[in-house]
Amino acid sequence: MEGRKSLFAFIVFVVIAYGFPWVLTNDYYLSILILSGITAIGVVGLNLLLGYAGQISIGHAAFFAISAYTSAILTTNYGLPVFAGMAVGIVLSAVVAVVIGIPALKLKALSLAMATLGFGLIVYICLNEAITFTGGPSGFVGIPRFNILGHYFYSDLHYYYLVTGVLTLVIIISLNIINSRAGRALKAIHSSENAARVMGVNVARFKLFVFVLSALFAATAGGLYAHYLSFVAPSSFDYHFSIKLIVMAVLGGMSSVWGGVLGALFLTSMPEFLRMYEELETILYGLILILCMMFMPTGIVGGFSKLAGLFMGRHSKGGKDV
Amino acid sequence: MDLSSFLQYLISGLTVGSTYGLTALGFTIIFNATRVINFAQGEFVMMGGMLSVFFMSALGAGLMPAIVLAITCTTIVGVCMERLTIRPVQGAHVINIIIITIGVSIFIRGMVMLFLGKDTYVLPPFFGQENIIDFFGASIMPQSLWILCITMLVLAGLREFFNKTIFGKAMLACSFEQKAAHLVGISVDRMVMFSFAISALVGSIGGVILTPITMTSYDVGIILGLKGFAACILGGLGNPFGAAAGGLMIGVLEAFGAGYISSAFKDAFAFIILLAILFVKPSGIFGKAEIERV
């Protein structure tokens, strides 16, 4: 792993992410960026699971949802401070991830996909049906904005910095894990579980570790989401959202932390711009997905590094590097 | 628990389950040929129903010609999907191909929404109006019997096709070992294309026979696709008849869950039971345990 390249990418990210608000003064764009950032936190986590450990989860929206709803209900109905509410939501998501993860991670590829998909659907259906707690299909309103030590993040600009800060933290954690012993273990599991086992990797433990970690990130994002919009509804966390998270990870570039960030930014902002073509929105969205996957199989990051390779006159490894 | 409501739930479960089974069959056929889960499978089912309605009203065609046209069109869409989006990316990562199929499903849904609208439609029952049959206190719609009969016919037909015809055998050969099939002169490309054609065909038949009972709209493909996927995992992925059986089971479990426990959580039961079964027997009910070669 080229440490220097990774550091360079990190600096570029920090400069762009923190510089954005100076260039962009439009509130609408800022809110899209906030939502992109929140989603990116979840996608970076999912990417660890999908891109590094090679485990498919089509139920990650559930972790967003569990944390978002827990925090929403605790802070709105029981007057808990937002910070505490979010913490409880995140812990609860992690506990659920452990309970689901232990049996589910024994499953092979597509069965695991199905199991996580089923889990996501069950959570979604419960949110819709447990109307007394969740408000049912019409959603849960009046959630307080994020605040800590008396400071309320009422302005979008402040919230943007909050989200970017958390995202930066998540990226640092992820980069560290990838470049550590755990990261190498995960990659070994990805190429062959048996071989990894023979090499003395505790496969079950690492798989559970990365699953719970990705759920933690998703849960953090869920909490930030609820306390940004002040409103949550089950439809925000349905099967489509889980699929969208995977698509973001793959479209951005699976084996790169940055892929998750770019994928989230691209797929969160694109539908907003497609709104102009109302009727055609869905068709264009599908078409863009198909074309991107056909012509940029290693995702945006892979496409970039290929391009960079062309300019430098070198053969790039095409998205394999971080 | 009285007999009549038990029978009623059983029959409605089997009816809907047949369609899940047909969807699952489509998944399995493509999976065997390509190792890919085609997320547009539910869209084939939706197209079967939606196009039948469209051809009936817009072209003023009778029910049968409309159905035949709809199934033909869906099959052509299946073939086009393979030619345009799957074949050009041969050898790509499975997850990438799955995302392409997700893209195709979104695209098809968008097209249908744009051209046929967002309304809900229904087809008239086949062969005349309701003569509800009384069966030990349970009332059976003739359409339910048609659905079961047609599903059985499709299954029997596929069985014959795979076991008796040279084409079917060639497709089976491809599903076992593509290289070996290629070596004995089977055109793997063509077999993959056929697998898309057949699963589009089977899926759209499922959509057509279900529409007189449950109505259809541009977005029914998602939930049907998910249930179909669940059915084929439940039955053991790669096993077509296990998939069909899985579909029936999911349909029946759902109907019992809705009838005896709560109809609000109807969709959840099937998945809860699916999870339980997966955790106990990861290879599915009829699946063989996989042996991984290192």
pLDDT in tens, B138-174: 778 888 888 899 999 999 999 898 889 988 888 888 8
Range with lowest mean pLDDT among A11-20, A44-53, A246-255, B103-112 = A11-20
Which residues, 6+ apart, have CB-to-CB distance to A50 below 8 Å? A56, A57, A246, A249, A250, A254, B95
Across the range B20-32, mean pLDDT stands at 91
Across the interface, whether the CB atoms of A108 and B282 are under 8 A apart is answered: yes
Q: What proportion of chain B, given as a percentage, has pLDDT over 90?
A: 36
pLDDT band, residue B129 (cuts 50/70/90): low
CB-based contact A289 B85, cutoff 8 Å: no
Amino acid in position B235? G
Would the CB atoms of A118 and B95 count as touching at under 8 Å? no
Instruction: Answer whether B100 sits within 8 Å of A122, measured CB to CB.
Output: no
Contacts of B227 in chain A (CB under 8 A): none
Q: In terms of CA atoms, which chain B residue is nearest residue A123?
A: B268
Across A214-235, b (16+ Cβ under 10 Å) vs e yields: bbbbbbbbbbbbbbbbeebbbe
- The candidate with the shortest Cα–Cα distance to B278, out of A115, A202, A222, is A115
Residue A237 in this model has a pLDDT that exceeds 60: yes
Any idea which residue has 């996957």 for tokens?
A293
Residue B264 DSSP one-character state? T
- The phi and psi torsions of B255 (rounded to 5 degrees) equal -65, -40
Residue in chain B lying closest to A250 (CA): B96
| Min distance B64 CA to chain A CA atoms (Å) | 30
Burial B187-220 (b: 16+ CB within 10 A, else e): ebeebbbbbbbbbbbbbbbbbbbbbbbeebbbeb
- B153–chain A nearest CA distance, Å: 29
Q: Work out the angle between the directed axes of helices B63-81 and B188-214 (0-180°, nearest 10).
A: 140
Q: Which residues of B touch A285 (CB under 8 A)?
A: 106, 110
Interface test with B, best of A198, A244, A283, A296 (most B CBs within 10 A): A283
The tokens for B204 are 């759209």
Cα first-last separation, chain B: 52
A 10 A CB-CB count for A284 gives: 18
Mean pLDDT over A238-249 rounds to 90
Residues of A in contact with B268 (CB under 8 A): 121-122, 125-126
Tens digit of pLDDT for each residue in B180-212?
888 888 888 889 999 999 999 999 999 999 898
Query: pLDDT for A293-310, tens place per residue?
Result: 888 888 888 887 777 777
How far is B80 from chain A, CA to nearest CA, in Å? 14
Report whether B251 contacts B244 (CB < 8 A): no
**Residue-level pLDDT at B181:** 87
To the nearest 10°, report the CA torsion of A15, A21, A26, A32.
Answer: 70
Residue A45 has pLDDT above 90, yes or no: yes
Chain B positions touching A114 (Cβ under 8 A) are: 229-230, 233, 274, 278
Which residue of A107, A125, A290 is in closest CB contact with B103? A290
Q: Pairing between strand B133-135 and A231-232?
A: unpaired
Give tens-digit pLDDT for B208-248: 998 988 888 988 888 899 899 999 888 888 788 889 999 99
Query: Which chain A residues have a beta carbon less than 8 Å from that of B108?
Result: 286
- Enter the tokens of residue A322: 């971080």
How far apart are the C-alpha atoms of B1 and A120, rounded to whole Å? 32
Give the model's confidence band at B130: pLDDT under 50 very low, under 70 low, under 90 confident, else very high.
Answer: low
Distance, in Å, from the CA atom of B107 to the CA atom of B109, rounded to the nearest integer, reads: 5
What CA–CA distance (Å, rounded) separates B214 from B143? 11
Q: Are A236 and A222 in contact (CB under 8 A)?
A: no
Q: What is the pLDDT of residue B1?
A: 62
Residue A150, Ramachandran bin (φ over 0: left; ψ between -120 and 50: alpha; else beta):
left
Q: Tell me, what's the pLDDT at B75? A: 97
Chain A residue closest in CA terms to B273: A118
Q: Least CB-CB distance to A195: which of B97, B265, B294?
A: B294
**Res. A192: pLDDT tops 90:** no
Mean pLDDT of A147-175: 86
What confidence score (pLDDT) does residue B293 get?
53
Higher pLDDT, B36 or B76: B76
Nearest to B238 by CA among A49, A189, A193, A109: A109
> From the CA of B142, how many Å to the nearest CA of chain A?
32
Chain A interface test: which of B43, B81, B95, B104 (most A C-beta within 10 Å)? B95
Note whether A118 contacts B272, CB cutoff 8 Å: yes
Tell if the CB–CB gap between B110 and A104 is shorter than 8 Å. no
CA-based end-to-end distance of chain A = 7
- Residues of A in Cβ contact (< 8 Å) with B282: 106-108, 111
Task: Please report how many Cα atoms fall inside a 13 Å half-sphere around the Cα of residue A200, on the Cβ side.
Answer: 1
Please give the Cα distance from B281 to B236 (Å, whole number).
Answer: 10
* pLDDT tier at B51, thresholds 50, 70, 90: very high
In chain B, the residue whose alpha carbon lies closest to the alpha carbon of A51 is B95
The secondary structure element, H or E, covering residue A183 is helix A181-191
Q: What is the pLDDT of residues A103-126, one digit of tens each?
A: 988 888 788 888 999 999 999 999
Report the C-alpha gap between A286 and A215 in whole angstroms: 27
Q: What is the DSSP letter of B216?
A: B
Q: Which amino acid is at A90?
A: I
Given phi > 0 = left and psi -120 to 50 = alpha, else beta, which region is A266?
A: alpha
**What is the C-alpha separation between A217 and B198, in angstroms, rounded?**
42
Q: Which two tokens stand for residue B185?
A: 């002169």
Confidence of residue B24 (pLDDT cuts 50, 70, 90): very high
Residues B239-252, buried b or exposed e (16+ Cβ, 10 A)?
A: bbbbbbbbbbbbbb
Tell me the three-class secondary structure of A99-163, residue by residue: HHHHHHCCCCHHHHHHHHHHHHHHHHHHHHHCHHHHCHHHCEECCCCCEECCEECCCHHHHHHHH
What is the number of alpha carbons within 13 Å of residue B64 lying toward its C-beta?
A: 2
Mutate to test the interface with A, among B223, B271, B283, B285 (most CBs of A within 10 A): B271
Residue A46: per-residue pLDDT:
94
For B264, name the nearest residue in chain A, comparing CA atoms only. Answer: A129
Residue A171 or A278, more confident: A171
* pLDDT at residue A317 tops 60: no
